[in-house]
Structure 1
Amino acid sequence: MRRVPVAGDKPYDVVVGPGAQVELGLVLAGTPRAVVVHAPPLAAAAGAAVEILQSAGVAAGAVVVPDGEAAKTAEVAARTWEEFGRLGLTRSDAVVGVGGGAVTDLAGFLAATWVRGVPVVQVPTSLLGMVDAAIGGKTGINTGAGKNLVGAFHPPAAVLADTDALAALPEAEFRSGLAEVVKCGFIADAAILELLDADATGRRDTAELIERAVRVKADAVGGDLYDTGQREFLNYGHTLAHAIERVEDFGWRHGEAVAVGLVFAAELAGQAGLLSREDVDRHRTLLAAMGLPTRYAGDWDRLQAVMRVDKKARGASLRFVVLDGLGTPMILTDPAQAWLDAAWSAVAL
């Protein structure tokens, strides 16, 4: 079992490995009650979590929410709060999120807001959840204006990344999660890029890739919970990605949108004279080898309008995470329109 500590005012561990979910009983030992939040496809995993908790003396039950981004709405949150009230969940109790990134985002938000905050333990079942969504305490739901615009910072008590769950993960979902892994390689850990160069499927070195990506995120969030400094660099590729997701009404997988966003950000850095042509091209070549999209057919004017309400924007300023060379992220504020248009042309279908 691999353990990655996450520092901060409330430090916790990310546990990575087969059977990690069994530690749920240890993490919540002494907790009177816990509610497991899950989507319908994860009923078996949620049932196992309930059994583990009950064996540890925790009164546990489950609440079902919609699958995927459909879970991350104000309506679903309101219904689930009512269910928490019916179950008698108090500040002494806990929430457990079992599922992919959407469910862990929602579970964290519910825990942050119920009686002004109860502990949450995240049990991600997707690669995306294990390396990104479940870690760092960013929680949220979507609105008509954009993705994750309503939320709270609420670090988990623990993250249990049970790699046994990946055996049942559809290949397209696994590839989607790899986009967040390769992002960590571009911004911080060149060894990730080398591992994916050697095996673009990510299947040969999955455990090492997960641990390395988790360490990159842990380093970023440990000293910057509120996303005002180093943590912003984790948003590499995400400004355009979130706009694509919103324009597509969340019909695109997150990692697929991130892949296009990474190529766009690399092209933008190239236009700004920050990234060599070789490094720009490496983005497109590696992502394509991983089976991820590198182009997108969309309305550029509409995408720009959506990006201006991205949560990384500041006032009227459009801000992008770009690279000043591989492994050296920075913020590019209000890039020239000609640079933006050229970067868009490089990814547009």
Structure 2
Amino acid sequence: MSIETVRVELGDRSYDVRVGRGLIARAGAEIVALAGRRRVAIVTDRTVASHHLADLQAALAAQGIDAPALELPPGEATKCWAELGHATEWLIAQRIERKDLVIALGGGVIGDLAGFAGSVLRRGVRFVQIPTSLLAQVDSSVGGKTGINSPQGKNLIGAFHQPALVLADIDVLGTLTPRDFRAGYGEVAKYGLLGDENFFEWLEANGLRLASDPEALQRAVRHSIQMKAGIVERDETEQGERALLNLGHTFGHALESATGYSDRLLHGEGVAIGCTLAFELSARMGLCSQESPSRVAAHFRAMGLPACIGDIPGDLPDDEALIALMGQDKKVQDGKLRFILAHGIGRAFVTDQVDLSDLRAVLAQSRG
């Protein structure tokens, strides 16, 4: 399989997303043209570092690139003010300048935090995304959304800061736990659900092969990135169409907050439940067939993912508390909750016309 390139066309902020096998081993050759005085700083987490940091530093050293690294704690809790301050002060101590590079080596948490640090350091330092999780490769590493969480909600503090390059190495996904791989799949399926029924049909037939078939996996990753790149090109700062990428997230973010951003519910698992709820709400409102939510839920369950609130272990806040958490979501406009609903699989749209009685009924039903 060859390495493929998806171009994100954003004028003077355009960049390539490289997709394929062995990209960390050739990272020095991929990055050297961007590296200015051949100095970069790597932000990663301890788990990822144990698997991939030495290989990345060796690849950079082969091109004469000095690459000190900061290893942060793994997990969603790292996306906070304290660790942002830690990372930013460390980058200053490394004397990283505007023409240097910050490399985010990790999943979505590290990509979001390191990218945000780059956006505020010296009023903007370029950064490279090397996503090491399926979720980060198909979603968070592309499009320039960076940020941290607030105690009041997920991703409420951040900035748009496009990467200079993304290296999506398929090989690194083999080090993921089965649960982390499945959670990332929630974001892959989202692309078919929001805008490409043919892709969703392909996933229904091939989804279980992705963990063992690199060719199928690269196809799924590349197609997901192509879909996201096209939407980002048309709506970089989420004024309209880009909101479709949040299918399942209004529900999912509230559930993540309700579970304390813990391993009770991983982000991609929350997205899977959220996508199912979005289709359940759409069907209840007469917007799509009754068969669509059943098909969505059946596919997620076949992939080993949760599909309803009742699948989350432990106690959860009541429905009114979940709705209040949804009210803190970034998609709220003029005090109104915005949902991504669907007229069918592959036909998502944005609306704030949702009756709370329908929402409450769907939440109650999902608890089982």
Classify the TM-score, shorter chain: over 0.9
Q: How does 1:87-126 map to 2 (within 5 A)?
A: 87-126=94-133
Displacement of 1:24 after TM fit?
4.3
Provide the rounded CA distance (Å) in 1 between the counterparts of 2:76 and 2:127: 20
Match of 2:229 in 1: 218
Asked if structure 1 preserves the Cα contact closer than 8 Å seen for 2:18 and 2:167, the reply is yes
CA–CA distance in structure 1, aligned partners of residues 151 and 113 of structure 2: 16
User: Does 2:61 match 1:57?
Assistant: no
> 1:152-231 alignment to 2 at 5 Å?
152-201=159-208, 202-203=210-211, 204=213, 205-231=216-242
3-state SS of 1:291 partner: coil
Q: Which residue of 2 aligns with 1:83?
A: 90
1:149: which partner in 2?
156
Partner residue in 1 for 2:288 = 275
CA distance in 2, matches of 1:92, 1:243: 39
- The 8 Å contact of residues 37 and 63 in structure 1, kept in 2 or not, is answered as yes
Superposed displacement of residue 334, structure 1: 3.8
CA distance in 2, matches of 1:267, 1:24: 47
Q: Which residue of the other structure, out of 2, 5, 11, is the alignment partner of 1:3?
A: 5
State whether structure 2 residue 248 is matched by structure 1 residue 243.
no
8 A Cα contact 2:42 2:104, kept in partner: yes
Tell me the secondary structure at the aligned position of residue 147 of structure 2. Answer: strand
Q: What do residues 191-230 of structure 1 show as CA deviations (whole Å, max 9, x unaligned)?
A: 3222222134233421111111111111111121111111
- Residues 128, 176 of structure 1: 8 Å contact kept: yes
- Structure 2: distance between partners of 1:58 and 1:315: 48
Contact 1:265 1:343 survives alignment (8 Å): no
Q: Is the 8 A contact 1:121 1:159 kept in 2?
A: yes
**Distance in structure 1 (CA, Å) of the matches to 2:121 and 2:270:** 32
Q: Shift in Å at residue 91 of structure 1?
A: 0.8
Following the alignment from structure 2 to structure 1, what is the Cα–Cα distance between the partners of residues 101 and 189? 33
SS at 2:67 equivalent: strand
Q: Deviations over 1:119-150 (max 9, x none)?
A: 11000111001000111100010110111100
Task: Give the Cα separation in 2 of the matches to 1:25 and 1:35.
Answer: 16
Q: Secondary structure at the match of 2:68?
A: strand
Give deviations 1:169-201, integer Å, cap 9, x for gaps: 111011001100000011122232222221342
Question: Residue 302 and residue 175 in structure 1: after superposition, are their counterparts in 2 closer, same or farther (change >3 A)?
Answer: same
- More displaced, 172-181 or 188-197? 188-197
CA contact (8 A) 2:28 2:65 kept: no
CA distance in 2, matches of 1:191, 1:3: 22
Aligned residue identity for 2:14: P
The equivalent position to 2:23 in structure 1, one of 20, 23, 26, is 20
**C-alpha separation between the residues in 1 aligned to 2:237 and 2:28?**
27
Q: 1:261 aligns with which of 270, 274, 280?
A: 274
> Within 2, Cα distance between the matches of 1:24 and 1:289?
40
Q: Distance in 1 between matches of 2:117 and 2:36?
A: 18
Q: CA deviation at 1:51?
A: 2.2
- The letter for the 1-side match of 2:280 is E
Per the alignment, residue 342 of structure 1 pairs with: 361
Q: Helix, strand or coil: the match of 1:20?
A: coil
- Distance in 1 between the 2:239 and 2:226 partners? 19
| Structure 1 Cα separation of the partners of residues 361 and 207 of structure 2 | 28
Aligned residues: 349
Is the counterpart of residue 42 in structure 1 residue 48 in structure 2?
yes
The SS at the match of 2:239 is coil
Matched residue type, 1:38 = T
Matched, 1:293 2:306: yes
Cα distance in 1 for residues equivalent to 2:20 and 2:365: 39
The 8 Å contact of residues 189 and 212 in structure 1, kept in 2 or not, is answered as no
Q: Distance in 1 between matches of 2:190 and 2:293?
A: 13
SS of aligned partner of 2:328: coil
Tell me the alpha carbon deviations over residues 76-124 of structure 1, each in whole angstroms, 9 at most, x when there is no partner: 0111111112111111111000111111111111111111111110001
Deviation at 1:26, TM superposition (A): 2.9
Distance 1:12 1:132, change over 3 A: same
The unaligned stretches of length 5 or more in structure 1 are none
SS of the residue aligned with 1:195? helix
Summarize deviations over 1:247-303 as a string: whole Å, max 9, x none.
111111001111110111001111221111111211111111111101214321111
Q: How far apart are the structure 2 equivalents of 1:337 and 1:77?
A: 37
Report how far residue 343 of structure 1 moved.
1.7
**TM-score, normalising length from structure 1?**
0.96
Aligned position for 2:313: none
Q: Aligned partners of 1:62 and 1:259: how far apart in 2?
A: 34
Per the alignment, residue 36 of structure 2 pairs with 31
